[in-house]
Amino acid sequence: MKLIHVLLSLLCCHLSFCRVPAISDASPEDLVEEKCLMKKYTHLSCSKVFCQPWQKCIDGTCVCKLPYQCPKNGTSVCAANGKSYPTYCHQKSFECLHPGTKFVNNGKCTAEGKFRVDLEYGNKDSEGIVKVKLVEQDTHMFICNSSWSIREANVVCFDRGFKQGALDVHRTFHLSENLHINSTECLNVHCQGLETSLAECAFTKGINEGYQGLAGVVCFTQNEGSPRERSFQCVNGKSIPWKKACDGVNDCGDQSDELCCKGCQGESFLCKSGVCIPRQHVCNGEVDCITGEDEVGCKGGDHPAILGLLSMAREETKLVIAGMDTERKRIKSLLPKPFCGVRENIRTRRKRIVGGKPAQVGEFPWQVAIKYDNKIKCGGIYIGGCWVLTAAHCVSTTRTHRYQIWTGLIDWIKPNSELKVEFVEKIIVHEYYNGTSYQNDIALMEMKPNPHSKRCEIPNSIPACIPWSPYLFQANTTCVISGWGREKDNQKVYSLRWGEVNLVSNCSQFYSNRYYEKEMECAGTMDGSIDACKGDSGGPLVCTDINNVNYVWGIVSWGENCGKPEFPGVYTKVANYFDWISSHVGRSLISQYNM
C-alpha cells in the first residue's frame, strides 16, 4: 500500500503534478513540527515571514516603523480619526503605533459618511450577517457568500475588536419572516487576511441568491471555543481543527497554523523555511517564501505548483473598490535595499583549503585576508561600507594598528594587481565571546576610511549579504568555504582556495556538549575530504539562494583536526548575530528586507 503510494507520487512528479511531500495518508499532526511550535511564531515573526512595509524586523519580531520612515511618494488616504495621511504606508504605520486609527478610504476624507460594517440577525454582537456601507454610498449592502472565506471573516472580527478573528464562517442566520432583504445585489469581498479593516479589501458586484447566499460570521470569543480535544492551539489563544493546520490558509488569524510545517495539505505550497502558503500565491509576482522559491521559474506560468490553477477560469467582475493590496505591493517595491551578494560576471568557475581548488580573481569578492604584523593570520568577510566580519579568536581589540586588511587578494607571495591594503580603525569583539568554548566567535573590523571622501573605496570587493533568519538555508545545502588556510598535511598555502561543503544537522552527535545549536553551524563532506583548516579562521562559509544571492552563513571557527569525516568544521552561525551586527554597522547597511 505504502509502496504503491510512493510509486504513484513518483509518477505524478513526472507528469509535474508533483505536490509537496506525499502526505495524503499522513495525519495533520504529522505535518507540524513540534519543536518549532514551541517558539510561538506568528505573522509578526520575521525569521519566518516578511514584515509589512510599514514594519521593520527587530530581534525576530516585526515592529511598527515610524511614519517618516515610509517612502514619500503616493496619494493620501483617510483614517477613522477623520485625518488624512500622505500615503497608505503613513496611515498604516500610524495605525500600527495607535491601533484604532483604521483605514477608511483611499483619497481625501469626505463628508459623505464613513465606511461601516455591521453584523445583523445574530443573537450577540460577535455574530451575524455582514452588512457594509461603503464610503460615498448611502445604501447598505450584504456580502455574497460565494466569495466569503476565513480570510475576510477574520478581518471583520479584527475590525470589531476580536483579536483572535473568526470562529465560524458558514453559520446560517435566520432572518425573521417580516424582515426582507430587498436587494438582488450583494458585494463580493477579497482580503489578504492581515488587514485590520474590511475597508482595505477589494469589493466587486455580485448576485444575491436569497438569504442563504449572504455571508455571516461568528467571531471568536473566549467562552465560544472551549478547546476541543484534537484541536490545534493557535498562538493567539484560538483553537482550530487539526485538519486546518498547514493548509496554506491563515485560519488562526495570526498565521500560527502555517509557520511550523513539514508538509502542506490541500491547495498549498511548502516554502523551504517550513511555511505553507496558498497555491494562488505561487508565481503571483510577490515573494512570499523568505527563501524566494515561490517566484522562481514562473515564466509562462510553468511553475509546477500552479499548473492546476491555470485552467481555472477567472470570472469577470465589476470592481467597486480596488482595495489596498496593489498599493501595499507598490510601497514594498519602494523600500531601499542595499546591494550585496551578487558577483560580477566572471568566467565560469574552473573548478583548495583542505582538498579545495584554486580561486580566480573576482570569484570571492567578499573574501579578505587579515594580516597581523608580517603574517596572513586569518580570513575575513567584507559586508559593506567600511566593515569586515571575522572570528573573535582572530583579533585583539588593543592592537588595532598591527592589523591590515588585504582586499582583492589571491596570492600573498605574488600579490595580484587587484590587491588593496586597508588599515584598521576599530575592532569590536562580541561581548560574550568565550575563548574556551568558542561561543560567540564573531568580531567586526572597521577599516579606516579615505580621509577625503570619508568612505571606504574598495573597487575589487563586493559585500556578502548577512542572513536575517536562521531559516534561510537548511541542512544538506551545499555551500562554499574559502581561505588561505593549511592543507591536510599541514602544508602552507599561498593562494586562495575554495571547496564545497554541506550543512550538517544534529552536530551534537559529533561534538556532544561542545556544540551549541543556536550559535554554531556545522559543515563538511561525507569523507571529510573538504574542510577549513588552520589559517582559514574568520573566513566565509557562503550559501547561495535560489536567486543566486550569496549570504555569509558561517564564519570559520573551530574543528577537531582538519578533514576528518567524523568531525565536521564548526562555524559561527551568522544568522544568530544579525541584530548584533546591525547594532554596530547600522541597519541600513545590511537589511535587505524588513527595513
Q: Which residues contact 373 (CB under 8 A, 6 or more apart)?
A: 402
Binding map of ligand ARG across residues 99-138, x = CB under 6 A, - = no contact: ----------------------------------------
Residue 520 burial (10 A CB sphere; 0-12, 13-18, 19+): buried
- In 369-403, which positions are buried (b, 16+ CB within 10 angstroms) versus exposed (e)? bbbeeeebbbbbbbbbbbbbbbbbbbbeeeebeeb
Residue with cell 547561495: 544
Total of chain residues touching ligand ARG, rule CB under 6 A: 13
Binding residues for ligand ARG restricted to 523-542, rule: CB under 6 A: 531-537
Nearer to ligand ARG, 403 or 558 (CB): 558
Scan residues 561-590 and list those touching ligand ARG (CB under 6 A): 562, 569
Q: What's the min distance (Å) between Cβ of 569 and ligand ARG?
A: 3
Q: Which is nearer to ligand ARG, 134 or 532 (CB)?
A: 532
Q: Shortest Cβ distance from residue 570 to ligand ARG (Å)?
A: 7
Q: Which of 50, 471, 510, 558 binds ligand ARG (CB under 6 A)?
A: 558
Rounded Cα distance between 133 and 62, Å, is 32
**Smallest separation, CB 530 to ligand ARG (Å):** 10
Q: Which is nearer to ligand ARG, 32 or 395 (CB)?
A: 395
Instruction: Show contacts of 330-336: CB within 8 Å, 24+ apart.
Output: 330/74, 331/53, 331/54, 331/70, 331/71, 331/74, 331/87, 331/88, 331/89, 332/53, 332/286, 334/71, 334/73, 335/53, 335/71, 335/595, 336/588, 336/595
Question: Measured between alpha carbons, how far apart are the two ends of the chain, in Å?
Answer: 50
Decide if residue 235 touches ligand ARG (CB under 6 A). no
Q: In terms of CB distance, is 245 or 562 closer to ligand ARG?
A: 562
Residue closest to ligand ARG when measured from CB atoms: 559
Q: What is the dihedral of CA 285, 305, 22, 230, to 10 degrees?
A: 50
Does position 488 interact with ligand ARG (CB under 6 A)? The reply is no
Interface residue with ligand ARG, options 485, 499, 540, 554 (CB under 6 A): 485
- Minimum separation from the CB atom of position 534 to ligand ARG (A): 5
C-beta closer to ligand ARG: residue 403 or 468: 403
Neighbours of 37 (CB within 10 A): 17
The candidate with the shortest Cα–Cα distance to 288, out of 471, 50, 515, is 50
Active site residues: 393, 441, 537
Pick the closest to residue 539 from 400, 472, 442, 418 (CA basis): 442
Q: Which is nearer to ligand ARG, 42 or 537 (CB)?
A: 537
559 binds ligand ARG (CB under 6 A): yes
Tell me which of 556, 575, 581, 585 binds ligand ARG, using CB under 6 A.
Answer: 556
Chain residues binding ligand ARG by CB under 6 A are 485, 531-537, 556, 558-559, 562, 569
